[in-house]
Amino acid sequence: MVKWRNWIIGICMAGTASSAWADSLDQQRQRYQQIKQAWDSNQMATVDQLLPTLQDYPLYPYLQYRLLAQDLDQETTLAVQNFIRQYPTLPPARSLSTRFINVLAYRQDWQGVLNFSPTEPKPVQARCNWYYAKWATGQQQAAFDGAKQIWLRGTALPADCDKLFSVWQASGQISPITILERIRLAMKAGNDSLVSYLAKTLPTDYQTMSDAIQALQQDPLTVSTFASAVGPTDFTRQATIYAFTRVARQDMENARSLIPILVRAQKMGPEDEQALKEIVVWRMMGSDLTSEQARWRR
């Protein structure tokens, strides 16, 4: 099968259109649609016959891409590289490189991943596979540094990243501070399930913090309890502000009354205090205010 595809690609890329097919653009367009219909119906003999006749047709590269991409997991590195070099600006080709990195990772060809892509790809799945390839080829610290960059986000990550994070975790380089930083990012993103999961991974000497975070996530109205129970740090102040935002959505007046309590408990500076006030002011927009609330808002 691979030999057949490579033979077809070679014919399509190297051959020239027969004079018998030197016809009008309309005729080429009709033949293009004919090839697409045959392909959709798995009539590959018709595709085989007609594909070499469209080499001068503007959409011909898309047919070549389809030929290459339909069985990408069986393609050679050389075939993919040749296609990318020939059509560097073709829109589908822009994702071909990262897709093939994932193919090579599935084959566990880790050196092949790095040979094919000497520079770090951008999509997360390919990045995880690329950094795991670094680890598998003896560049452990580079892999762990990359793992941390990828991991520090407030959203879920592809399953392909698990093996990279597993070796990073086994290295002992995931500190409680790093976990708290991702919890902060998850709070900011409103990702409650990730916050709860990460809080449970904190070590036993962080049990008080773990319990406080989980209680706060389950009920943001306990924000004053949280602020008083945990010592003030940059993390706890940010966690307090994120929970306060949720309180303000539910009960603007209650949130307003909590501001001095939270500022005092978490030893907030003027900037954080102003942030709390602005959260309430924003919730006041469009609301019917009492005269006292209106004065406070000013």
Q: What is the pLDDT of residues 239-259, one digit of tens each?
A: 999 999 999 999 988 999 999
DSSP letters spanning 248-284? HHH-HHHHHHHHHHHHHHTT--HHHHHHHHHHHHHHH
Q: 217 and 269: one domain? A: yes
For 66, the domain range is 1-90
Rounded to an integer, the average pLDDT of 128-153 is 98
- CA-based end-to-end distance of the chain: 74
Predicted pLDDT at 17: 40
pTM for the predicted model, two decimal places: 0.83
Domain count, the chain: 3
User: Of 172, 201, 217, at which residue does a domain stop?
Assistant: 172
Residue 241 in domain: yes
Q: Do 291 and 227 share a domain, yes or no?
A: yes
Calpha distance 142→207 (Å, rounded): 31
Which tens digit of pLDDT belongs to each residue from 189-227? 999 999 999 999 999 999 999 999 999 999 999 999 999
Contacts of 138 (CB under 8 A, 6+ apart): none
- Do 2 and 63 sit in the same domain of this protein? yes
Distance of CA 157 to the CA centre of its chain: 7
Residues 217 and 295 in one domain: yes
- Same domain membership, residue 116 and residue 86: no
Measured distance CA(13)–CA(7) in Å, rounded? 10
> How crowded is the C-beta side of 146, counted as CA atoms within 13 Å?
24
pLDDT band per the 50, 70, 90 thresholds, residue 108 = very high
Number of Cβ within 10 Å of residue 71's Cβ equals 11
Same domain membership, residue 4 and residue 60:
yes
- Does residue 202 fall inside a structural domain? no
pLDDT for position 298: 60
Is the CB of residue 39 less than 8 Å from the CB of residue 49? no
